Amino acid sequence: MPSTWTPTSWRAFPVVQQPDWPDEGDLERALKQIASYPPLVFAGEARSLQNALAQVSAGNAFLLQAGDCAESFDDFSANNIREKLRVILQMAVVLTYSLGVPTVKVGRIAGQFAKPRSSATEKIGDLEIPSFRGHIVNDPTPTPAARIPDPDRLVQAYHQSASTLNLVRAFTKGGFADLSRVHAWTQEFVGSSPEGQRYEQLATEIDRALRFMRACGVDTENTSSLHEVDVYTSHEALLLGYEEALTRQDSLTGGWYDCSAHMLWIGERTRQLDGAHIEFLRGVGNPVGCKIGAATDVDYVLELCQALNPARVPGRLTLISRMGADKVEDALRPLLRAVTDAGHPVVWACDPMHANTFTSTSGHKTRHFDDILREISGFVNAHRAEGTWPGGIHVELTGDNVTECLGGADDLQVADLVDRYHTVCDPRLNARQGLDLAFAVAELIRSSGFA
Ligand code: PEP
Ligand code: CO
């Protein structure tokens, strides 16, 4: 039997990937301050997301989890947030329209700052300096001083998350996400492209469907689901002190919720069964995710399900495979079978980004659109073979016209990467590539006989 959980019980477990804060006292002061601040999300919202994810686990909905690899303190503006929302809304409309099931929208947004690193230090010439761990920890400038972890950044991340979430709520509930504005979600640089044109066609069909509904007497004016959407927030729960400071007891149920985001996930590097990250997340009431790489075995995944969702609550646990285009089909199938046989109701999502990353000849960390699509294809094939539902995708993207991932409809080449390579961490799909991916994924799933 696991021992009693409290918001601090993780502190007794081995914890990896935490920054080397120079002064414990400064860290404690910052965390105390955050603990005194209001929660960013409410428990009831986390429960709504869990109910929506329960529908995904039952095969009645699709999960689109998308956003930055790492949010940036420098690239923080209303424009940036709006553009990201636009592409997420566009992709969701394409998926919903093509698959005929609701799309559950979860952003890697309003708190996705902290990054795990494969190495604690990096070499700049002859100098060895601490690695960049996200703006919530240190500054990416490659100097020893910039890389010293600064606890004031935890407080700044809280405030940026609060402002971001405020705008997300305004955009999604205040008219911007109204289905009658489906045409207006297209960015200028997408509009004239082939996938932009394809989207325009679909938007016109939606307009016609809305007119048809009104003609039939349906009161579309007063149907709130046509005018508002739910976009939930999520991030990797990496810095456990920060997560603990935002963990609050729900006055309604008495349960503990990590109110830094609606959904939290555990990364590939922090998912040790006897480690602090699993200990922390097992006790919060939010829906949680866990990344699983190609080396994941059946015994591990069953123990993981048992640790994070012993009560087998549908929607509580999302397993996000990130196995690589060449490996996913074979590596995933035994896991699908074992988890299904054990009766664990999980959401299966595909992260086609993190195991398909390489460094280009130009020295940029990049991914090829074709590999991303190939991984999703292998994921869908595995589900078809095992009779399970390919529940969703987890992707890194931005609404901006960046040049970070290769290929896609405009066939970005290595020589193009240098033009607009703006990410502070991993390469993201741009808005055209994101939209293109949504069409391709919908086709893949449909042609596999799922919808
Ligand atoms: C990420 O999602 O940005 C990430 C670091 O993923 P993973 O833990 O799967 O490597
Ligand atoms: Co990433």
DSSP secondary structure string, 227-245? T---EEEEEE---HHHHHH
Q: Which of 291, 237, 231 is nearest to 90 (CA)?
A: 231
Instruction: Extract the tokens encoding 432.
Output: 């055209």
> 260 pLDDT exceeds 90?
yes
> How many other C-beta atoms are found inside a 10 Å radius of the C-beta of residue 87?
27
Q: Quick one: pLDDT band at residue 187, thresholds 50, 70, 90? A: confident
How does DSSP classify residue 38? P
Q: Whose CA is nearest to atom 4 of ligand 1?
A: 267
Going from the Cα of 102 to the center of ligand 2, the distance in angstroms, rounded, reads 26
Superfamily of domain 9-177+228-447: Aldolase class I (3.20.20.70)
Q: Calculate mean pLDDT across residues 302-306.
A: 98
- The more confident residue out of 190 and 312 is 312
116 within 8 A of 236, measured Cβ to Cβ: yes
What average pLDDT is seen over the chain?
Answer: 96
Is the CB–ligand 1 distance for residue 293 below 6 Å? no
Is the CB–ligand 1 distance for residue 243 below 6 Å? no
Q: How far apart are CA 355 and CA 323, in angstroms?
A: 6
Q: Calculate mean pLDDT across residues 89-97.
A: 96
Going from the Cα of 120 to the center of ligand 1, the distance in angstroms, rounded, reads 16
Q: Whose CA is nearest to atom 8 of ligand 1?
A: 267
Tens digit of each residue's pLDDT (9 = 90 or more) over 425-437: 999 999 999 999 9
Predicted pLDDT of residue 328? 98
Tens digit of each residue's pLDDT (9 = 90 or more) over 106-123: 999 999 999 999 999 999
Q: Calculate mean pLDDT across residues 24-44.
A: 98
- Which of 76-90, 214-228, 327-341 bottoms out in mean pLDDT, i.e. has the lowest? 214-228
Tell me the residue type at 196.
G
Is the CB–ligand 1 distance for residue 102 below 6 Å? no
> 101 pLDDT exceeds 70?
yes
Q: Quick one: pLDDT band at residue 175, thresholds 50, 70, 90? A: confident
Q: Quick one: pLDDT band at residue 194, thresholds 50, 70, 90? A: confident
Helices 369-386/328-341 angle, 10° precision: 40
Q: Calculate mean pLDDT across residues 362-373.
A: 97
DSSP assignment of 365-419: EE-BHHHHHHHHHHHHHHHHHHT----EEEEEB-SS----SBBTTTTB-GGGTTT
Q: Which of 94, 92, 90 is nearest to 103 (CA)?
A: 92
Q: How far apart are CA 258 and CA 5, in angstroms?
A: 14
The CA–CA distances, whole Å, from 342 to 154, 306, 336 equal: 40, 10, 10
Q: Calculate mean pLDDT across residues 199-213.
A: 91
Going from the Cα of 119 to the center of ligand 1, the distance in angstroms, rounded, reads 14
Predicted pLDDT of residue 451? 75
Q: What is the torsional sign of CA 371, 376, 380, 385?
A: positive
Q: Relative to the alpha carbon of 428, which ligand is closest?
A: 2
Nearest-atom number in ligand 1 for the CA of 322 is 9
Q: Calculate mean pLDDT across residues 385-399.
A: 98
Is the CB–ligand 1 distance for residue 354 below 6 Å? yes
| β-strand partners of 105 | 64, 231
The CA–CA distances, whole Å, from 54 to 34, 49, 191, 315 equal: 31, 9, 35, 4
> 1 pLDDT exceeds 80?
no
Is the CB–ligand 1 distance for residue 235 below 6 Å? no
Q: Quick one: pLDDT band at residue 82, thresholds 50, 70, 90? A: very high
* Residue bearing tokens 């566009």: 90
Q: How far apart are CA 386 and CA 3, in angstroms?
A: 36
Tens digit of each residue's pLDDT (9 = 90 or more) over 274-298: 999 999 999 999 999 999 999 999 9
Q: Which of 117, 20, 140 is nearest to 71 (CA)?
A: 140
Predicted pLDDT of residue 189? 78
Tell me the residue type at 112.
Q
Question: Coil, helix or strand for 362?
Answer: coil
275 within 8 A of 15, measured Cβ to Cβ: yes
> How many other C-beta atoms are found inside a 10 Å radius of the C-beta of residue 424?
18
Predicted pLDDT of residue 171? 95
Q: Give percent of the chain with pLDDT exceeding 70.
A: 100
Is the CB–ligand 1 distance for residue 105 below 6 Å? no
Q: Quick one: how many helices (H) and strands (E) in the chain? A: 12, 14
Q: Quick one: pLDDT band at residue 233, thresholds 50, 70, 90? A: very high
Mutate to test the pocket of ligand 1, among 137, 322, 397, 425 (most ligand atoms within 8 A of CB): 322
Going from the Cα of 428 to the center of ligand 2, the distance in angstroms, rounded, reads 8
> 2 pLDDT exceeds 80?
no
Predicted pLDDT of residue 195? 86
Question: Coil, helix or strand for 441?
Answer: helix
Name the phi and psi angles at 361, rounded to 5: -65, -20
Question: Coil, helix or strand for 290?
Answer: strand
Q: How far apart are CA 362 and CA 415, in angstroms?
A: 7
366 within 8 A of 357, measured Cβ to Cβ: yes
The CA–CA distances, whole Å, from 447 to 99, 348, 381, 384, 443 equal: 11, 19, 11, 11, 6
Going from the Cα of 2 to the center of ligand 2, the distance in angstroms, rounded, reads 32
Residue 349 parent element (H or E)? strand 347-350
DSSP assignment of 120-187: SEEEETTEEEEPP--TTT---SSSTTTTS--THHHHHHHHHHHHHHHHHHHHHHSSTT-GGGGGGG--
Q: Calculate mean pLDDT across residues 202-217.
A: 92
Predicted pLDDT of residue 186? 84
Going from the Cα of 424 to the center of ligand 2, the distance in angstroms, rounded, reads 10
The CA–CA distances, whole Å, from 12 to 8, 15, 125, 279 equal: 8, 9, 38, 9
